[in-house]
Structure 1
């Protein structure tokens, strides 16, 4: 119980992490292309 409270306290005190949504989307698309190449298919998801 104490460990859960400490983890919750740490989470609440942490600073927000800025996320660049467009950069994240670009990365996902890049990994999707790599997965398609590795699977040997040419279909787009």
Structure 2
């Protein structure tokens, strides 16, 4: 019973982790593009 509750909690957290990872990747890409524009000038 305890393992099932832990698994359900992890399944509930998975979407939030995916959203955090995707937003982090977009944020890193934005920083790199800004740096490339800054260095190109």
Q: What's the TM-score, normalizing by structure 2?
A: 0.51
Of structures 1 and 2, the one with the larger relative CO (CA 8 A, separation 6+) is: 1
Give the paired residue count.
23
Q: Where does the alignment leave 5 or more consecutive residues of structure 1 unmatched?
A: 1-17, 41-45
Q: Where does the alignment leave 5 or more consecutive residues of structure 2 unmatched?
A: 1-16
Query: Which has the larger helix fraction?
Result: 2
Tell me the distance in 1 between the aligned counterparts of 2:26 and 2:34: 12
